[in-house]
Structure 1
Amino acid sequence: MLYQRKISKGDALSAKLGFQLQTTRYVLAGTQMLGVCGGMFLLWYQSVPLPTPAWGVGMLILSFIQSLHMSQALESQRHITAVGPVLRELLVSAAIGGFAWSATVIWMGEYLSDEVLYALVMIMVIITVATVAATAVVREFYLVWLCSSLIPVACWLAWTADARPFNLIFAAVLWGLAILMAVLSYGISRSFTQMVESGLEREAMAKDMAGFSETLRAKNTQLQEARKQLADLAKLDELTGLRNRRGADKAFDMEVSRAQRGGSSIAVIMIDVDHFKAYNDTYGHPAGDDVLKRIAGVLRSVTARAGELAIRMGGEEFLLLLPGANQADALVAGERIRTRIMSLEIEHSASPSGSIVTVSQGVVACIPSMTTEFKQLLEAADKALYSSKEGGRNTVTLSPFRP
């Protein structure tokens, strides 16, 4: 068995009490009322005056009170919240009901004819047998009923065996019937207990599986989010937080295709930090990393429009992708980058071209034809960048590229 959950005795007893209350409040009460009516009919025509109406009314009231008490316990869910007290109340109720019948037989027995006495005993027997299926769910209840109804009458009949011709026979029958019904009640109670535990196990399994499925869905969502985050991180440069080359390749092709379909311009700016190796040699790599981070912040500040990307191509080389920008727009963006980086005033005493950190840029802007590939734009921007370096650095050079 792949799944098994142990059901506590308290849970099983609570479920059995609920069923016992639901059935007993009608079955036992209804059967007793019929028995009372039959007993009143038998006692009504006795030659000896008996308080038959008072007895009948008292028994009916007792039966009604028992049924009402069971209904209240069921409706208030006390069989769930107070299992022990409800069980004790049921046992007391069974004892009172059983003793009421046995007391009736024993008290009125000396005034009744043989036929009426044995008929009254048979009414009690019928009540006991007819209600076993409903009242033996909680076996203790049925055993208390047996011990308080049939057993006292059987003992009384055996004790007064000489008073009536069939007392001993009826006593033996009642004892045998009590033993038989006790055994039968054990089988009924055991079968119902197994059914209750099986139902509770299925219910618990359904709840556990629902909780497990919910947890699994949550874990799956977390896993998907983690995968997405990992995928996003793989596309980012760890040092600067900008897109890396791998993370930008798809954007390159997508923006070129969009410009080709819409007949719009697209611009690329290749950026290189001037004399960066000399900076690292002079100030150390941690200081060089800080320079790259500050430059990345400048590039991020000039790519505010949708589709614009700032990318770290590797080392000290960066690239800006500006969809919709023409040559004039690209040159303005390049000049803005140059002046903002200069305004950082990062000291660079080892630079042959100045005392602060500067950048050189190569710019290309065009309306791509249907055969234009992005690598052509990169090559053109790289050549323009080379021209900026050859021209003294800290400059912006426009490529003459035409698609």
Structure 2
Amino acid sequence: MDYPIARRPGFDPPAEFASLREEAPVCPVSLRHGQQAHLVTRYDDVRAVLRDHGRFSSDPSRPGFPQLRPVVDRKAAPGSFLVTDPPSHTRYRRMLTGEFTVRRMAALRPEVERITRERLGTLRSGPRPADLVTAFALPVPSDVICLFLGVPVADQDFFSSRSRAHLDRSLSAEQVRAALEELHGYLADLIRTRRREPRDDLISRLVREPGLTDEEAVGMSVLLLVGGHETTANSIALSVLALQRDRARWEALVAEPSLVDNAVEELLRYLSPVHHGVVRAVTGSAAVGGTALGPGDGVIASLFAANRDPAAFPDPDRLDLRRDARTHLAFGSGVHQCIGHLLARLEMRVALRALVTELPTLHLAVPFEDVEFKFDAPIYGLRSLPITW
């Protein structure tokens, strides 16, 4: 079986995932560069793999590390904590932990609300129909991460286009590499500026960390910049479309906005925007789902399949806004759980609450079947979402 498995328009994972969970929960698959790996689809197995960083490595230099990107990663770039193991991973994460606490998010909330209000005001005063993706879903998290990191908002189009190219699986390795080099160059210049002229932002605080090189600071900033807006932007647009697919769900939030926080968790479970999964290299003897694995084997832990596992979430293909879905794996699990999950949750909650309270009559301006999904990236989303009100 080739992987990734082709998807059809809509929110559901490929139908093959359901049969794999039943019949082959650890299934051999072939990848784009001719590699073989094992696809893991059951919730308990996926969670176990993600939480065992001793036997399942995130380091691309390890034998068997599954390569899903057009560019083959031979080793982890300095500062790229997403693809490093402890102790390096621990060192990088420790520098950032204080930036993503519950207290820090509470302090940031007024700014997130202000940005959301301003972007919604621009959307409402503009022409109809409007594209929710370009007018709201993408700008809100982009503005927030710019503010958070200290990136000038005027440069938003530059980093947005480069980060999208970095994640676009339909582009050639040369195109992806060029986009990433431009993004690295931009951030290297910004980091040198912040060393000379520090401000009250994350990059300024980051470069004051003892022993952190400019190269490491660039690697960390790239992850935060790309991850800090792509996933959330896609999740906001997908959430609105999912709620509009069955208008009763949208109306439920309009009638009861306090339900938004719970709904966000269920939407994250149901949508699972990181749909290609999380990759690991096996470094020791391990048994997953009854399958023996050893050093040199590669594993793809499917967050999407796990979040639709009926053993973890009864009737998993139904979007139930009152379901307790807090145990979902949309942000991963273990030491590599998305460091910005509290920020993503905050942005989604504020954005959806603003839409259902300030724009309750919002509805699609095109038939659902005409909405174009974007599946050629590890984080799926929508190319556009025409709406009116």
Superposition TM-score tier, normalisation by shorter sequence: under 0.3
State the structure with more CA Rg. Answer: 1
Which structure has more helix as a fraction of its residues? 1
